[in-house]
Amino acid sequence: MEFKTNVGMSETDKINVHGYDLVEDLMGSITLADMAFLGAKHRKPTEAESKMLNAVMVAICEHGFTPSSISTRLTYLGAPEAVQAAVAAGLLGAGTVYLGAMEQVAEMLKDGMDKHGADKSAAELATLILDERAEKGLQLPGFGHPIHRPVDPRTVKLFEIAKELGFYKKNSETINEISKQFNERKGKPITLNAVGAIGAVLADMDFDHRVMKSFAVASRAVGLVAHIVEEIESGRKESVGQQLFDYVEEHTDYTAKSAAAK
């Protein structure tokens, strides 16, 4: 049986990745985000594509204490010899609530254009998408944020960069029109979060919606390293992981004693 791949192969003195010589063509020449682009598109990004994807990945690399970063810290507490396990645990805790639903946003926009026609205006598409989701009782991905209200600063910056680099197209126009109309229907401002912006911008860059979360996962893996470093620098006794563990132990003991007293 013969297995084939165009992703990469090694020879005695050479490594080929997507048709490029890793050492001569890629190392020292492109960024890690560019490598992600190369894997998704099978070509190097243009300067504009590189800047846009790097901005996207930086935007969602770090967001403080979230389920993913807490999972990383707790796993490192239990297995400091396995940094990879701590990062993996953090990635398992990253989902549509605390990492993002950019693929759902892009799929929603694509389905809307496929069903109703890409020739319709952004305003018309927004109305049709909102009406259909309301009729079916579907949530609107890419909206809402527990902290950034009414505006997510990352969203503003991402669209600024997209306009500057030429990636503010139909999908971005439509998600912003959806935001406008959604706020009018609700009678209050609902945050168009960074994930909503990213789903639209990546769609305008012609990325398949099924691969979009991979960029978020790769970005978050980088961000989780800082949480491990902070645990190391704090020392085991003062680490956040240990404090969380101690708190749970104390709370559990208190609950058990209270139940026994009754």
Q: DSSP 3-state assignment of 143? A: strand
Q: Rounded to 5 degrees, what are φ and ψ at 193?
A: -80, 175
pLDDT at 63: 86
pLDDT digit string, tens, across residues 181-211: 999 999 999 999 999 999 999 999 999 999 9
Length of the chain: 262
Q: Check: CB of residue 175 under 8 Å from CB of residue 107.
A: no
Cα–Cα dist 81/198, whole Å:
35
**Domain 100-211: which topology?**
Cytochrome p450-Terp; domain 2 (1.10.230)
pLDDT digit string, tens, across residues 76-113: 999 999 999 999 999 998 777 777 789 999 999 999 99
Cα–Cα dist 85/220, whole Å:
14
> What are the extents of the domains in the chain?
100-211
Amino acid at 35: M
pLDDT at 122: 97
Work out the angle at residue 70's Cα, subtended by the Cα atoms of residues 67 and 71, and round it to the nearest 5 degrees: 80
**Share above pLDDT 70 across residues of the chain, in percent, rounded to a whole number:** 96
Amino acid at 96: T
Residue 25 confidence (pLDDT) above 70: yes
Residue 50 confidence (pLDDT) above 90: yes
CA distances (Å), origin 27, targets 16, 22, 51:
12, 6, 18
pLDDT at 256: 52
Mean pLDDT within 15-44: 95
- Specify the DSSP class assigned to residue 45: P
pLDDT at 80: 95
Q: Rounded to 5 degrees, what are φ and ψ at 37?
A: -60, -45
Residue 258 confidence (pLDDT) above 90: no
pLDDT digit string, tens, across residues 223-256: 999 999 999 999 999 999 999 888 888 888 655 5
pLDDT at 24: 95
pLDDT at 147: 86
Number of H helices, E strands in the chain: 11, 3
Tokens for 189? 């401002």
pLDDT at 93: 80
Residue 162 confidence (pLDDT) above 70: yes
Residue 262 confidence (pLDDT) above 70: no
Residue 131 confidence (pLDDT) above 70: yes
Mean pLDDT within 138-159: 93
List of residues 6+ apart from 121 with CB closer than 8 A: none
